């Protein structure tokens, strides 16, 4: 599959959609942002349609002008103590409120589309130069190239793992950094699904990576913010070195 060339096409589709799905409270990933954008757009259309409808859903009984007699009576030094409320046309007022709400929904739709497009652009930039074959799997999928997996601790607490690679022609820290960044960008664009490269220790929530060369070996240090995430990263790395069998 040639995902990078395909992704270039979705940038032009950021404003398209069909039937409105439910609003997404905290969208993650391109698809979720686009679903939220379409939902906001549909709500804006509904509000404008309602605002243009006869009577706009309001009657004179719905609109409160305030107690004008009381307002006139409560004075101090000739000045009214209560503010007067003009009796605007309730139909016009209700329609204007709906138009304002529609404008807010349109703005939110634009923000969601912008967020979706940014994720695609970030992936295209991060994966530029990575071959299609390498995009299809994690750089850690090359199990035979992994020489050692070392638990990383800080202050006596588990905080990740250090993965040491054997010397491989063309394997440099720069290439490894690029490959890791590419898959992280894809992970974000997809909405961080648990099924995406589930064996990649760098895709643990909150993890950071540092790539360096030591004694001719490329090393990837994966650091996490808590013991639980550190154990997950370490477990994934150990499984790369000693793949699980079907019975384990």
Mark which of 83, 104, 128 sits at the end of a domain. Answer: 128
Q: Are residues 43 and 122 in the same domain?
A: yes
Q: Are residues 122 and 15 in the same domain?
A: yes
Quote the pLDDT of residue 20. Answer: 45
Q: Are residues 205 and 114 in the same domain?
A: no
Quote the pLDDT of residue 241. Answer: 84
Quote the pLDDT of residue 206. Answer: 87
Q: Are residues 44 and 102 in the same domain?
A: yes
Q: How far apart are CA 211 and CA 144, in angstroms?
A: 19
Q: Are residues 124 and 142 in the same domain?
A: no
Q: 85 in a domain, yes or no? A: no
Q: Are residues 96 and 148 in the same domain?
A: no
Quote the pLDDT of residue 239. Answer: 94
Q: How far apart are CA 11 and CA 8, in angstroms?
A: 6
DSSP-derived 3-state class of residue 146: strand
Mark which of 128, 149, 180 sits at the end of a domain. Answer: 128
Domain count, the chain: 2
Q: Are residues 124 and 140 in the same domain?
A: no
Q: How far apart are CA 92 and CA 89, in angstroms?
A: 5
The residue to which tokens 């720069």 are assigned:
174
Answer for the pair 203, 196: CB distance below 8 angstroms, yes or no: yes
Q: 158 in a domain, yes or no? A: yes
- Starting at the edge strand found earlier in the chain, the sheet holding 217-223 runs 146-154, 157-165, 217-223, 208-214
Quote the pLDDT of residue 131. Answer: 94
Tokens representing 197 are: 């490269």
Quote the pLDDT of residue 4. Answer: 46
DSSP 18: -
- The CA-CA-CA angle for residues 242, 247, 248, to 5°, reads 45
Domain encompassing residue 162: 134-241
What's CA 62's distance to the chain center, in Å? 41
Q: How far apart are CA 89 and CA 235, in angstroms?
A: 68
Quote the pLDDT of residue 52. Answer: 86
Mark which of 128, 148, 173 sits at the end of a domain. Answer: 128
Answer for the pair 47, 99: CB distance below 8 angstroms, yes or no: yes
pLDDT digits (tens, 9 = 90+) for 138-195: 999 999 999 999 999 988 899 999 999 999 999 999 999 999 999 999 999 999 998 9
Q: How far apart are CA 17 and CA 116, in angstroms?
A: 13
Q: Are residues 102 and 167 in the same domain?
A: no
Quote the pLDDT of residue 212. Answer: 96
Q: Are residues 124 and 156 in the same domain?
A: no
3-state helix, strand, coil in the chain (%, to 5): 50, 15, 35
Digits of tens for pLDDT over the chain (248 positions)? 444 444 544 444 444 443 444 444 455 899 999 999 999 999 999 999 998 886 655 555 555 665 555 555 555 555 655 566 677 777 888 888 999 999 999 999 999 999 999 999 999 999 999 999 999 999 999 999 999 999 999 888 999 999 999 999 999 999 999 999 999 999 999 999 989 999 999 999 889 999 999 999 999 999 999 999 999 999 999 999 876 554 44
Helix (H) or strand (E) holding 91: helix 90-127
Q: Are residues 157 and 104 in the same domain?
A: no
Quote the pLDDT of residue 244. Answer: 59
Q: Are residues 7 and 103 in the same domain?
A: yes
Quote the pLDDT of residue 17. Answer: 41
Q: 225 in a domain, yes or no? A: yes
Q: 199 in a domain, yes or no? A: yes
Give bridge partners of residue 165 from the DSSP assignment. Answer: 146
Quote the pLDDT of residue 72. Answer: 52
């Amino acid at each position: 599959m040639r995902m990078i060339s395909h992704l270039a096409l979705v940038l032009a589709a950021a404003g398209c959609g069909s039937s409105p799905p439910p609003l997404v409270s905290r969208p993650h990933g391109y698809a979720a942002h686009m679903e939220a954008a379409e939902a906001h757009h549909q709500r804006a259309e509904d509000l404008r349609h309602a605002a243009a409808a006869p009577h706009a859903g309001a009657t004179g009984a719905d609109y409160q002008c305030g107690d004008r007699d009381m307002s006139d009576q409560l004075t101090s030094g000739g000045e009214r103590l209560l503010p007067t409320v003009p009796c605007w046309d309730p139909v016009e007022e209700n329609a204007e409120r709906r138009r304002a709400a529609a404008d807010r929904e349109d703005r939110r739709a634009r923000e969601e589309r912008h967020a979706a497009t940014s994720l695609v652009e970030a992936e295209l930039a991060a994966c530029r130069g990575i071959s299609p074959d390498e995009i299809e799997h994690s750089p850690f999928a090359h199990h035979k190239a992994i020489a050692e997996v070392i638990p990383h601790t800080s202050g006596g607490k588990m905080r990740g793992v250090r993965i040491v690679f054997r010397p491989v022609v063309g394997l440099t820290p720069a290439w490894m950094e690029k490959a890791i960044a590419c898959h992280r960008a894809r992970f974000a664009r997809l909405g961080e699904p648990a099924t995406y490269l589930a064996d990649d220790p760098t895709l643990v929530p909150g993890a950071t990576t540092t790539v360096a060369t030591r004694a001719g070996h490329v090393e990837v240090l994966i650091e996490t913010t808590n013991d639980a995430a550190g154990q997950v990263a370490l477990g994934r790395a150990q499984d790369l070195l000693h793949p699980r069998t079907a019975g384990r």
